[in-house]
Structure 1
């Protein structure tokens, strides 16, 4: 810690650990394991102390400045999302929409990419990167994105949406693309 423990008012956050999850602190990394996998995240030991005790993760900062309060809240939210991800997982569903040119969507597991062919009649395929340990499936006109990390699932969905974004045309007329349906 940068400051002596008695210099400022302490701020504490407590996060409950679900019975199916296991949380471990290893240096400046928090590791969460569960039935859906393992997630790791680094944290700055300069601003907060993290301990695991009695089925709870306790986050403490010895400085109540605005940045430290924000950082402790952010880390508490990340830990909740990690626990929820390794126990339940996260899922997003997208829909493939086209008017005239039938779009073909394939998942290349080796390259960790979603390949979108014949988008608005273009010859070159558009490629969207699959981030992290995320599973992507195409079922008819739906794309299902699942994984233990909320950030990876969301970024993969954003990459797919960005790859099919139409620029320089009226989006009310040219509505072809892949859109987020439900989270």
Structure 2
């Protein structure tokens, strides 16, 4: 069954300003600015209310896919608002049982050495706008863009993945264990 008209509103906090140009949404807050382009979402209208306190989204004759896209865009915009007001933080744990793994941040990449005694250096890309710090056996990934923070944490986890060993015995690697909104 198609929904004839879908309308939703997103409240904008006082500390946040939103700029909308066609389907490009820019959210600016105390922690920074995020710009995201939703040009792929044809048939969805994104506007600001007259008092600039709400973001209005509207679509007509939405089938299942268009409805899913509509609510995904709402989630993206809400994540952008939370990001510029609070920020996101992911925690990763360095686990080793056989050889001590050394991790360091060099430029825009994380370098992982001595993973299961390997001599080569494994590299994980840090996306722009993301800050990575290594504290003992913990790695903290912080930023205002949820997608960039999550992808950077996933890059680090994927770079430390080992193959050819029994995972029950060789659990060495770097794993995400906590995700939070910075308060």
Q: What is the TM-score normalised by the length of structure 2?
A: 0.91
| Alpha-carbon RMSD | 1.3
Q: 1:149 aligns with which of 145, 159, 167?
A: 145
Which residues of 2 match residues 57-136 of structure 1 at below 5 A?
57-109=55-107, 112-136=108-132
Matched residues, number: 174
Q: Which residue does 1:167 correspond to in 2?
A: 163
Structure 1 CA distance, aligned partners of 2:47 and 2:171? 50
Q: Contact (CA 8 Å) 1:21, 1:34: kept in 2 or not?
A: yes
Q: Secondary structure at the match of 1:63?
A: strand
Do structure 1's residue 23 and structure 2's residue 21 form an aligned pair? Answer: no
C-alpha contact 1:13 1:72 (8 A) present in aligned 2: no
Determine helix, strand or coil for the equivalent of 2:61: coil
Within 5 Å, give how 1:47-58 maps onto structure 2: 47-53=43-49, 54=51, 55-58=53-56
Q: Gaps spanning 5+ residues in structure 1: where?
A: 1-7
Q: Which has the higher strand share?
A: 2
Equivalents in 2 of 1:117, 1:35: separation in Å?
A: 37
In structure 2, what is the equivalent of residue 13 of structure 1? 8
Gap regions ≥5 residues in structure 2: none
| Alignment partners' CA distance in 2, 1:165 and 1:83 | 33
